[in-house]
Amino acid sequence: MKIVIVALCCVLSFCGCNEGKTPDSNTGDNHHHHSHNPQYGGLLIEVGDHFAHAEMALKDGKLTLYILDGEAENNVRLEQESVRVNVKVKEENLELDLKGVANELTGETAKNTSQFSATHEKLKGVEEFTAVVASCTIKGQKFENITFKFEHKDDHDHDHDHDDHDHDHDHDDDHDH
C-alpha cells in the first residue's frame, strides 16, 4: 500500500498546475522570441513570418543585398539577374539595379545567386538612407517593397534612443570616445 501511495504522489507531483497557460497562449511568455545577427555587417530584416531574411550592407558606395533563410544562417538563391532598389538619400531618390553576383566557391551564377550589388558615387560616405527592394521572389514566394532604414550609429557606446532628441548633450571628460 505504501508503494501505491508513493507512486501516486510522484505522478501527481509531475502533473502540477500550469496556471492556464498553454504553449499557444497569447501571453507573450511562450512566444518564440530570438534575434538574428547580420552575417555581412549590414542591416538584417525579416521577410515574411520567419520565411526568410534580407541583409543590406553599404561600403564605399557599394550597396549589397544578401538573401538568407528564416534563421538568417544560410544563403538562399534567387533565380533572377537583378533586384531593383529605390534608395532615398536626404531628399534625393536613386533607382538602382543590383546585379546578381557570381561566386565560384558556392557555384552561384549571376542568374542564380543570393547576392546582388551595385555601386553609386552618391552612396559614398552616406550613413543614413532608406532603401526599398521593389520586388523579389524567394523560394517561389513574391515579396514587394521590402524596406531598410539605415540610421547613423555613434562611435561611442551609450544605450538610449536618439529619435527624440539631438545629440548635443555633454559627456564626462574622463570618458573616452
pLDDT tens for 127-156 read 999 999 999 999 999 999 999 999 866 543
Residue 36 binned pLDDT confidence (cut-offs 50, 70, 90): confident
pLDDT tens for 61-92 read 999 999 999 999 999 999 999 999 999 999 99
| pTM of structure | 0.68
- Average of pLDDT values for 149-166? 53
pLDDT value for 140: 96
What's the rounded Cα separation, in Å, for the pair 43 and 39? Answer: 9
In a domain, 155, yes or no: no
In a domain, 11, yes or no: no
In a domain, 98, yes or no: yes
Mean pLDDT of all residues belonging to the chain: 77
Provide the phi-psi class of 139: left if phi over 0, else alpha when psi is between -120 and 50, else beta: left
- pLDDT surpassing 70 at residue 110: yes
In a domain, 19, yes or no: no
CATH of the domain at 61: 2.60.40
129 within 8 A of 76, measured Cβ to Cβ: no
- Average of pLDDT values for 17-32? 35
In a domain, 5, yes or no: no
The cell 557599394 sits on which residue? 62
Split into its structural domains, the chain has a count of 1
For 96, the domain range is 33-150
- Average of pLDDT values for 107-125? 97
pLDDT value for 93: 97
- pLDDT surpassing 90 at residue 26: no
